[in-house]
């Protein structure tokens, strides 16, 4: 019974509006969000990265906020591009100084966020995340998993920066 009451209370609070999301963020009086396609301008272009990142950013806002996704001119607007996709060695093996032990995949996204209702909350900022992998592993074997993890972390960081209230 207590679980049912807690669920009903959360449902009522969500229905009442107030602009709060389940992430602890605050969307204010915003009702809509638009996320433009993020083209890939990195030196290394990973074919599916633009689509995957754009969809992840749209998805996190739809899942974790009461905002409605619109194609253009939302109350909250995101645009930008992927500006870096790189793989670099990060550590040497202790037994063989000339040999790499780990590599790092890094993705950087340039984001322009416009809050049309509270302009002082708008920003232009780069976000980057990385994932390390064993140098003995071929990147093609782990690339999809690493990119999925990084893209999800980037989307979460952008959500927190734009509407986070902590």
Contact 33, 61 (CB under 8 A): yes
* pLDDT at position 25: 63
The gap between the terminal CA atoms of the chain, to the nearest Å, is 32
Contact 126, 94 (CB under 8 A): no
Q: Tell me: pLDDT of 129 over 50.
A: yes
pTM of structure = 0.79
| Number of Cβ within a 10 Å radius of residue 139 | 12
Walk me through the domains of the chain, giving residue ranges and CATH numbers.
2-163 (3.30.160.150)
> How far is Cα 28 from Cα 151, in angstroms, rounded to an integer?
26
The token duo for 139 is 């990147």
> pLDDT digits over 46-95, tens only?
989 999 999 999 999 999 999 999 999 999 999 999 999 999 988 765 55
Which of these, 129, 124, 123, lies nearest to 84 by C-alpha position?
Answer: 129
Q: Tell me: pLDDT of 137 over 90.
A: no
pLDDT grade, residue 21 (50/70/90)? very low
* pLDDT at position 98: 59
pLDDT grade, residue 23 (50/70/90)? very low
Q: Tell me: pLDDT of 26 over 90.
A: no
């Amino acid at each position: 019974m207590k679980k049912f009451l807690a669920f009903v209370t959360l449902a009522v609070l969500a229905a009442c509006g107030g602009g709060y999301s389940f992430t602890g963020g605050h969307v204010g009086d915003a009702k809509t969000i638009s996320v433009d396609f993020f083209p890939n301008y990195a030196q290394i272009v990973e074919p599916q990265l633009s689509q995957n990142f754009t969809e992840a950013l749209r998805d996190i806002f739809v899942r974790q906020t009461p905002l409605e996704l619109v194609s253009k001119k939302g109350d909250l607007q995101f645009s930008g591009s992927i500006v870096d996709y790189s793989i670099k060695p990060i550590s040497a093996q202790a037994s063989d100084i000339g040999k790499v032990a780990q590599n790092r995949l890094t993705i950087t996204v340039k984001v322009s966020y416009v809050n049309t209702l509270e302009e002082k909350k708008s920003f232009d900022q780069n976000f980057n995340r990385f994932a390390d992998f064993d140098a003995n592993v071929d990147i093609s074997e782990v690339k999809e998993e690493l990119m999925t993890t990084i893209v999800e972390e980037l989307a979460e960081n952008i959500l927190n920066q734009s509407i986070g209230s902590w």
